[in-house]
Chains A and B, each alone.
Chain A
């Protein structure tokens, strides 16, 4: 985990109540080569909350590249990919989440199981 920057601190403090502000004010500050993990996480969550699933997916994918053993990030990526109608990315992310938490020991691991059922249903009815 990288040290939390002032920008990330601001984003995290705004995230719960006003994710729109994070998207409007802080997301533009995220450069394409940023490796500020807390900032990426906060902006990605804000984008997901405000309905910009494709952008959220992109940031979660970048974050997962930085944290390849973080099951929570894998699950967030899967969820964003599902919302962005990208089942291939969602399945890949869920496979990684299942592998990272093989026994579903963590809440994120269990959430991955719920998402797998949901995605299976989505694909089945597509």
Chain B
């Protein structure tokens, strides 16, 4: 069986995947996805621009000259994708905390997730309450969310979904529009080989 044949067979499979209707995406679909992949589930729950912007760069219409933020985003992304999650947090604290004081508090909670189980719940609860969405740099939040995807306890995530909290409809629609980006991100995060130190993708 050649590689091309395998690709054709896979394409047939992926082409058969049907998007869930927007209104039905919240609880059952995300819960099921949570069991398969927490990253996907969280992208369905959280404002999608946070995730998309942090990983794919400027959105259409954004100023491409926002190089400073882009560089910071790229650095954190590379650390994260390379498995250097602690380093990603440290980098984020160092470079972003001066601009947005609230980041310090969040980064502290995030750092604790590496060593203290309770911190996972705190961060999960904070996400649930939407505490971060108003006063945090979206890029920073995206990084927090991304590494938290692996750390977050399944029980709080399930509770979050089963509470019946439905994501904002407009944000869900935006998430669906960016579906292709998210699939690509999934691949970047979970599939491709880790970036080695000093290497750029």
Contacts and interface: CB of A to CB of B under 8 A. Distances in A.
| Interface class of chain A by DSSP | helix
Interface in A92-126: 94-95, 98, 104, 106-107, 110-111, 113-114, 116-126
B186 interface: yes
A118 B36 contact: no
Interface in B21-59: 29, 32-33, 35-37, 40
A122 B191 contact: yes
B98 interface: no
A122 B29 CA distance: 25
Contacts of B192: 121-122, 125
A88 interface: yes
Contacts of B10: 91, 94, 116, 119-120, 123
A48 to B, nearest CB: 15
A110 B41 CA distance: 12
Contact of A107 (B35, B40, B190): B35
Interface string B173-201: 00000000001101100111000000000
Scoring B10, B14, B32, B190 by chain A CB atoms within 10 A of each residue's CB, the highest score goes to: B10
A117 B3 contact: no
A54 interface: no
A125 B3 CA distance: 11
25 contacts: A87-B3, A87-B6, A91-B13, A94-B13, A95-B9, A98-B16, A107-B35, A110-B29, A110-B33, A110-B36, A114-B33, A114-B36, A114-B40, A116-B13, A116-B17, A120-B7, A120-B10, A120-B11, A121-B187, A121-B192, A122-B191, A122-B192, A123-B7, A123-B10, A125-B192
Given A114-B33, A117-B183, A118-B190, 4 more contacts: A110-B33, A110-B36, A120-B11, A121-B187
Interface of A: 87-88, 91, 94-95, 98, 104, 106-107, 110-111, 113-114, 116-126
